[in-house]
Structure 1
């Protein structure tokens, strides 16, 4: 059963007063402010770097090994979110994994459409390698739309013949932007975070006419051969829950080691809702254990 803290978040989301017909700027501001309300782990350091013109925030919690890296692709449906807004979540990932987290501030739609976000994430990965990061001590991660991008990035890295990261972690990933027939109807979903109509708008904004089932844009249709071990975390109340289930099956069929963590009754991207949520603490502890077994020791 979800914790009282989780249910308080659900209540807040269900009763939040969103502006009618918000502008893109208002949507972005609201998204970021919700995340900026949380304070990073005490003692965390942040440095902002340029990865060949792409902003990358290096977030390091106390006790993290600066030679271990997690390249993090933030959520927001390719349209919202920012590296700055994700500093608190990144600090908790850093603390849990004992690694420095590099948050990619990729270009967002509609100003930059597909595959800009993926291209920028690949640029950031190349930059990490060029500055000495050991791929055997580097993982990819992302939440929501960023989780789908992280999985797609792993496939892109393999296709490019680059050294593979040691693992991929996807928090509540939104993977399939083509809306399979088995996508739950929004009237049948009680996820307070998402609606099908909202996801369709995000996908259309990002794709700008490109094919939604193109393997260049959709990890569910990509060649998954050779991907590193993958951890997927999803809640059964999450509108994108089936994405993780279907992706896990396809990845396993391609010979990929997959761990699928399913959390009963949890909503989309619960991990991002601050440090006091027990379910978030449990999930990040699982991530720490997963990466401890897969990132090479120094």
Structure 2
């Protein structure tokens, strides 16, 4: 049934109307919220909070571990999206991993261009540490631009002399805002969501005339040494395929433990479609197991030491 599920999802995504006149930022934000927004899954309690000086949504699944905290950064091209638009996806990941999770409402462009989002990600991580949460009890995750932001947050934390968390999971991460990956053109017919102009428009709003290859904008071009183990999941049918593939290669070359999973005939952040797409459920299960394994490994290392 999986092929039929993939075809249904692909057709659904392609059915979204594309206006000849580019929508305003506000129209994009409201449309995005209506398209993917939804409440956290049953069994996951939510609470409004503040982390790193920014509004945030805390998601706590029933039976969550007393130790272990997932810091999550949502996708949306650095321009749209919020913890509310991602409550369903993030809550499901939290539920499967059994982890208390905080999803941060970091500042968005164009009102707050780079480096505002990175500053907010770093401030959120720093506050977790200042709350006496052991870094080995923290994991970080993100999707799309939020995946790139999760990596930028790790880099900023490393450069600030802060300890790294136990691990990181990124779904379809946007790691190259120069748009130099071959898949930007090679997957243009396969991708049911984006065209190159969409990504370029988001990059324009986020970084403007700034250097798009600088590491905290495009982590693909960073020295990744010292980052924690990474799990990268990406669909084969998306423009950002090469952002993930090249990131995995760069991480490996920089001696970072990395696992890359490429989902056949799957779209951007296909994990959103759990419950309707077998591969999405399986990917979330693997991501949850990865997070649990990294937390366990970090705790075991502490015990041995």
Q: Within the alignment, does 1:99 sit opposite 2:99 as a pair?
A: yes
The C-alpha deviation readout for 1:7-37, integer Å capped at 9, x for no partner, is: 212111212224552221111011111222x
Counterpart residue number, 1:23: 24
Give the aligned CA root-mean-square deviation in angstroms: 1.8
Contact 1:74 1:103 in 2 (8 A): yes
- The answer as to whether partners of 2:190 and 2:237 remain within 8 angstroms in 1 is yes
User: TM-score normalised to the size of structure 2?
Assistant: 0.92
Distance 1:15 1:123 in 2: 39
Question: How many residues are paired up?
Answer: 297
| 1:106-164 CA-partner distances (Å, limit 9, x unpaired) | 00000000011111011111111222322111111000111111112111111111121
Structure 2: gaps spanning 5 or more residues = 301-305
- 2:213 aligned residue: 213
C-alpha spacing 1:205/1:251, structure 2 compared with 1 (3 Å): same
For 2:116, the equivalent position in structure 1 comes to 116
Tell me: CA distance 1:136–1:277, structure 2 relative to 1, closer, same or farther (3 Å).
same
Give the CA deviation at 1:75. Answer: 0.2
Task: Name the structure 1 match of 2:182.
Answer: 182
Q: Does 1:289 align with 2:279?
A: no
Tell me the equivalent position of 1:192.
192
Q: Secondary structure at the match of 1:185?
A: helix
Whether 1:13 and 2:3 are equivalent positions in the alignment is: no
Alignment match, 1:231: 231
* Preserved contact between residue 154 and residue 168 of structure 1 (Cα < 8 Å): no
Aligned residues of 2:237 and 2:267 also touching (Cα < 8 A) = yes
Q: Aligned residue for 1:81?
A: 81
Superposed displacement of residue 274, structure 1: 4.5
Distance 2:240 2:132 in 1: 36
Moved over 4 A (4+): none
1:182 Cα deviation from its structure 2 partner = 2.5
SS of 2:56's equivalent in the other structure is strand
Give distance in 1, aligned partners of 2:33 and 2:95. Answer: 22
Q: CA deviation at 1:216?
A: 2.7
Residues 56-95 of structure 1 show CA distances to partners (whole Å, capped at 9, x for unaligned) of 2111122222431111110000001011111111110101
1:32 aligns with 2:28: no
**1:69 paired residue number:** 69
Query: Partners of 1:187 and 1:180 in 2: how far apart?
Result: 13
The answer for the alignment partner of 2:142 in structure 1 is 142
Instruction: Report how far residue 181 of structure 1 moved.
Output: 5.6
Query: SS at the partner of 1:141?
Result: strand
1-structure distance, mates of 2:94, 2:201: 32
Task: Indicate conservation of the 8 Å contact 1:56/1:124, yes or no.
Answer: no
1:44/1:60 contact within 8 Å kept: yes
CA distance, structure 1, for counterparts of residue 206 and residue 255 of structure 2? 30
Offset of residue 221 of structure 1: 1.2
Distance 1:17 1:184 in 2: 21
Residues 32, 66 of structure 1: alpha-carbon distance in 2 compared, 3 angstrom cutoff = farther
